[in-house]
């Protein structure tokens, strides 16, 4: 039974989740799911349902700012969405067949993977001499953006596009299963595999997440897994937090962003894995 105190606490936590989500190109679900399940004791399907709705809010709110700043690669985003949306629908339908403990462990493992990839990825922020692949040339995926911390225009090409589309499909499945945006998988892949600068990868992933989450959110909503009293404070908080978060990304250096990101994810992933193995995780 959800009371006014729960609703108020969820509202405050979601403001923080929205901020962090916008900073790291995530939907914020990464923090909301552990909070709802570990702290509030919400059953997994309802936590995922509420989280995926809030992911739509975070993504749309922060994506608007990045898009206006021309940080988002709209063509690349639209193209990769084919994979992420197909995956999200797959994930949302498969979710009902998996036990909650499996979802906890999967959540933890995926976060841990993302943490390792992001920490190792430091230093290849602005790849040079990238040769676009055939698909990338046909679809004119390469672009440029103005880097505010470097105070110059950065041109970039997109390579190994098919790999990133396929990983996008997998990220979509994870999103539909776990109620996260999938940015934790998309951003490192776009940066490491396709050589897209991390700020563009982050902004474009954020942009894609809105549509990806909308696909699985509609499945959860119609299935009856979206509780209005969980969704409402999340929407309000996350939208507010995301609006502030996008202002910060413009001035924070990429390395510090990633290290902060990594430490946070590692802690959360361990807690979720412990919960999956039915160890009494009390917060």
Partner 1 sequence: MDLNRLVAYSLRIGVFASALLSMLGLLLWAAGGFNGFAVVSGSAIVSALSSAFMGSDSGIIYLAIGILIATPVFRVAISAVYFVNAGDRKYVLISLAVLSMLIFALVSGYAG
Nearest distance in Å: CB 36, partner 1: 15
Of 12 and 82, CB closest to partner 1:
82
Cβ 54 vs Cβ 140: under 8 Å:
no
Nearest distance in Å: CB 139, partner 1: 6
Options 3-11, 36-44, 117-125, 182-190: segment touching partner 1 (CB under 8 A) = 3-11
Site for partner 1 in 83-112 (CB under 8 A): 85-86, 88-89, 92-93
Locate 100 and state its tokens.
């909650």
Number of CB atoms found within 10 A of residue 88's CB = 32
68: Cβ contacts below 8 Å, ≥ 6 apart: none
Number of CB atoms found within 10 A of residue 106's CB = 17
Of 39 and 218, CB closest to partner 1:
218
Of 89 and 109, CB closest to partner 1:
89
Q: How far apart are the first and last CA of the chain?
A: 19
Give dist(CA 259, CA 119) in Å, integer: 6
- Residues 203-232 vs partner 1: string with x where CB under 8 A? -------xx-xxxxxxx-xxxxxxxxx-xx
Site for partner 1 in 231-270 (CB under 8 A): 231-233, 235-236, 239-240
Of 100 and 218, CB closest to partner 1:
218
* 13 binding partner 1? (CB under 8 A): no
* 169 binding partner 1? (CB under 8 A): no
Locate 20 and state its tokens.
């962090």
* 7 binding partner 1? (CB under 8 A): yes
Give dist(CA 127, CA 149) in Å, integer: 17
Cβ 278 vs Cβ 51: under 8 Å:
no
Q: Which of 113, 53, 95 is nearest to 273 (CA)?
A: 113
Q: Considering only residues 17, 32, 47, 61, which one is a binding residue for partner 1 as defined by CB under 8 A?
A: 61
Give dist(CA 202, CA 196) in Å, integer: 9
Of 77 and 108, CB closest to partner 1:
77
Give me the half-sphere count of Cα atoms (radius 13 Å) on the Cβ side of residue 277. Answer: 8
- Residue ranges that bind partner 1, judged by CB under 8 A: 1-4, 7, 46, 53, 56-57, 59-61, 63-65, 67-68, 70, 72, 74-75, 78-79, 81-82, 85-86, 88-89, 92-93, 138-139, 210-211, 213-219, 221-229, 231-233, 235-236, 239-240
């Amino acid at each position: 039974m959800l009371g006014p105190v729960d609703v108020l606490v969820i509202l405050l936590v979601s403001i923080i989740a929205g901020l962090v989500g916008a900073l790291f190109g995530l939907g914020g679900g990464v923090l909301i799911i552990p909070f709802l399940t570990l702290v509030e004791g919400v059953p997994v399907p309802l936590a995922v349902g509420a989280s995926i709705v809030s992911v739509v809010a975070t993504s749309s709110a922060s994506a608007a700012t990045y898009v206006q700043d021309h940080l988002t690669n709209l063509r690349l985003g639209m193209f990769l969405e084919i994979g992420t949306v197909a995956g999200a629908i797959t994930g949302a339908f498969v979710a009902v067949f998996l036990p909650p403990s499996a979802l906890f462990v999967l959540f933890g493992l995926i976060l841990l993977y993302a943490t390792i990839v992001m920490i190792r990825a430091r230093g290849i922020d602005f790849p040079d001499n990238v040769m676009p692949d055939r698909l990338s040339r046909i679809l004119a995926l390469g672009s440029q953006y103005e880097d505010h911390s470097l105070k110059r225009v950065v041109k970039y090409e997109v390579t190994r596009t098919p790999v990133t589309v396929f990983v996008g499909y997998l990220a979509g499945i994870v999103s539909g299963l776990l109620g996260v945006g999938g940015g934790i998988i998309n951003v490192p892949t776009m940066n490491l595999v396709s050589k897209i600068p991390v700020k563009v990868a982050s902004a474009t992933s954020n942009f894609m997440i809105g549509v990806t989450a909308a696909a699985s959110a509609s499945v959860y909503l119609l299935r009856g897994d979206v509780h209005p009293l969980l969704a409402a404070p999340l929407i309000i908080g996350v939208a507010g937090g995301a609006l502030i978060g996008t202002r910060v990304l413009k001035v924070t250096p990429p390395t510090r962003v990633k290290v902060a990101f990594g430490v946070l994810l590692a802690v959360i992933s361990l807690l979720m894995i412990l919960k999956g193995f039915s160890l009494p995780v009390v917060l």
